[in-house]
Structure 1
Amino acid sequence: MSKKITTSDISNRLGISRNTVSKALNNHHGITEETKRKVIEQAVAMGYKKVKLPSLDDPPGTVNLAKSIAYVTKSHLHVSGFWMNVMRGVEQIISSSGYEMKLSFIKEEDIHSLGLPHILGNGIEGFIVAGSITKLYTEKLIDLPLPKVFININPDISLSELNADVVFMENEDSMFRITRHLIQTGHSDIAFIGDISSCRSFLERWLGFQRAVLEAKLTIDPNHFIISDSTDNYQSYEDIVHSLSSMERLPSAFVCVNDRTALHVIKYLNEIGKRVPEDIAVSGFDQINEAEFLGYTLTTVSNDEYQLGVRSAEQLLQRLKDPDRPYETVRLSTKVFFGESTRSRYSAGL
């Protein structure tokens, strides 16, 4: 059984007093906003169950009798800045609309046993599900008679038959443009890497890659399609090393499902003496801050995760007002950034 996280655990991790942690979690006026932010982020990352995101417009001690909306997610997702920003976007709209946002974390054992969060049966008006979960568990959530919005979703769920709203960033066309750019600048041996079974967004990026390859009538080595299930969705360095070290030969370019995968690929290439982009080009997706330390710019796709949260919350509020309106699949626009990591093979002298 997993250990229950306490305020003492949070204070020990941050190196601050338990009293400060308690005050920060209760939006005490004597605690700086920066400290509140750090405490809340750490509490969420550790899976602390009693986090209530404060509305900074409310004076300390205000009694909140607002109706509640649940934000449901797997706790490990919120270690990343991406999902923290999504959650803040949701909270901003929820709190400014007179609702209280309640967090609910799904554990792996809940997913395997199909045990739904208790909070969803506790007077919640509706809920938002952040991140992809297994098909069976997603179907259990869909069957609940509550308004709901999914931010991303399992790829095995049919969007045409989905009785719920879902919000994405645009994926397919952005990845199509990156792959077409690589082809137009001299690459014909291109690999794609990403666990396309883990979420709909990754699947759509794979489809964008395939469309560009099909348009160019390229024949790609099937061994360069690294798309099978992985222990960590190819988000861990160990997964990348295992996959790439088994290749008989490396491609001239890697199209990675996101920036974190791209950074792991670049690290591996550096360790085996390959240069980016002189020897091998690499692209990503999501424009994460860690890519700023490469020493060159990474070809990637920028999106606004805060607005992803905002739009998802707005979608749920619309659903609450008009439950019989047709369900919608919403895709927010993105922007492709062509960086130095995919410089032309011709300009690199290859």
Structure 2
Amino acid sequence: MSRKITTSDISLALGLSRNTVSKALNGHPSITVETRKRVVDHAIAMGYKKVKLSVGGGTAAAESAGKARSIAYITKSQINHGTGFWLNVLSGVEQMISHSGYEMKLSFIKNEDIEALELPALLASDIAGFIVAGSFDKPYTEKLMALPHPKAFINIHPDTRLSDLRADVVFMENEDSIYQITRHLMNLGHTEIGFIGEIHSCRSFMERWFGFQRAHFDGNLPIQPSFCITVPNAESYQNYEGIARSMKDLPKLPTAFVCANDKIALHVIKYLKEIGKAVPRDIAVTGFDQISEAEFLGFTLTTVALDEYQLGQRATEQLLTRMSKPDRAFETVRLATKVVLGESSSSR
């Protein structure tokens, strides 16, 4: 059972005295409308149960928020939340929402709804805010962004300009991790390195591509496009058959592949094994995400470790803060990651 929120918790969170918080919550005339609204909004976001909503002018938003005790979690229907990365993200979101006294409502968006720009009915209901997990295409992202609700995104479409955000966005660090991995491969003597990932699908993959490019620039090594698979074809990256077809079309295999995530890396390793190539003896392969499925390779995978649970928690924290401080500047947050060097990229 979660601990009850007190006026002391609210005063600590806002940097106000308990006396000021108490007066604001009780509608005392000595408290300004701005301070009163700030305290009431934050109290509601924290799950304080004794808010008096009839506190005078400027409280319509607080009254509305007081009635809306649900937070929506919006994601694509094809994202697998049953295992791995997204299950851990969802668990982090659910824990934070429950701890804050809200109810979480899920909405899985189908491809046909995205193409038709049809928003889920849930977003027309009485919700306090919503979290978007995963990257949608730019038109659908803009439609979500235009909604008046407080909102937070976990990842976003790469064509969305961060300078024009009307929401908070949370990522794991991407660019520098792939930069380190690519320079590691170069230091091992690799001069023919390919990149595999649909860089136009989400900003995280695009930033990983930026890290790959920067490593080549700093290493004075030209990128060879014939070794890279980055075309915007989602089907090619979702299953083994798609990856295998794309790799068969390469005119020549490089000596190393930097993959945008571990799932792609596992498909690449499987294909290489089927054509008689050994990892890392013949070709080095790296990933990103440190998913549990890589534990069954028989060797360790060079990858990037991150905490998906904290990713979900932080996105929810951003949303709760946005609900209590709607006028605060929007933020782009990147959580730290760690490069884990494994046997899949060991010395040739």
Same fold (TM over 0.5): yes
- The answer for the alignment partner of 2:343 in structure 1 is 340
- The answer for the alignment partner of 1:238 in structure 2 is 241
User: Aligned match of 2:211 in 189, 203, 208?
Assistant: 208
Cα deviation digits, residues 256-312 of structure 1 (max 9, x gap): 000000000000000010010011000000001110011110000011101000000
**Percent identity at matched positions?**
64
User: Counterparts in 2 of 1:124-273, with a 5 A limit?
Assistant: 124-232=127-235, 234-273=237-276
Q: Distance in 2 between matches of 1:263 and 1:76?
A: 19
Q: Distance in 1 between matches of 2:253 and 2:83?
A: 30
User: Aligned match of 1:75 in 74, 77, 99?
Assistant: 77
- The answer for the alignment partner of 1:53 in structure 2 is none
- Using structure 1 for the length normalisation, give the TM-score: 0.79
Q: Distance in 1 between matches of 2:310 and 2:130?
A: 18
Whether contact under 8 Å (1:154, 1:198) holds in the other structure is yes
Q: Distance in 1 between matches of 2:157 and 2:166?
A: 14
Whether contact under 8 Å (1:125, 1:146) holds in the other structure is yes
Question: Is 1:313 matched up with 2:316?
Answer: yes
**Counterpart residue type for residue 67 of structure 1:** R
Aligned residue for 1:330, secondary structure, equals strand
**Counterpart residue type for residue 184 of structure 2:** H
Whether contact under 8 Å (1:231, 1:239) holds in the other structure is no
Aligned residue for 1:191, secondary structure, equals strand
Whether contact under 8 Å (1:66, 1:98) holds in the other structure is no
**Counterpart residue type for residue 345 of structure 2:** T
Change (3 A) 1:265 1:202: same
**Counterpart residue type for residue 309 of structure 2:** Y
Q: Distance in 1 between matches of 2:301 and 2:293?
A: 11
Q: Distance in 1 between matches of 2:193 and 2:341?
A: 17
Aligned residue for 1:341, secondary structure, equals helix
CA shift at 1:66, angstroms? 7.2
User: Counterparts in 2 of 1:266-305, with a 5 A limit?
Assistant: 266-305=269-308
Q: How many residues align?
A: 281
**Counterpart residue type for residue 70 of structure 1:** A
Whether contact under 8 Å (1:128, 1:316) holds in the other structure is yes
For structure 2, list consecutive stretches of 5 or more residues without a partner in the other structure. 1-66
- The answer for the alignment partner of 1:56 in structure 2 is none
User: Aligned match of 1:330 in 312, 333, 348?
Assistant: 333
Aligned residue for 2:339, secondary structure, equals strand
**Counterpart residue type for residue 324 of structure 1:** D
For structure 1, list consecutive stretches of 5 or more residues without a partner in the other structure. 1-64, 346-350
Whether contact under 8 Å (1:152, 1:200) holds in the other structure is yes
RMSD over aligned Cα atoms: 1.1
Question: Is 1:103 matched up with 2:106?
Answer: yes
Question: Is 1:85 matched up with 2:88?
Answer: yes
Cα deviation digits, residues 68-124 of structure 1 (max 9, x gap): 110011122124421111111011111111111111111111101111111111110
Whether contact under 8 Å (2:89, 2:310) holds in the other structure is yes
**Counterpart residue type for residue 115 of structure 2:** H
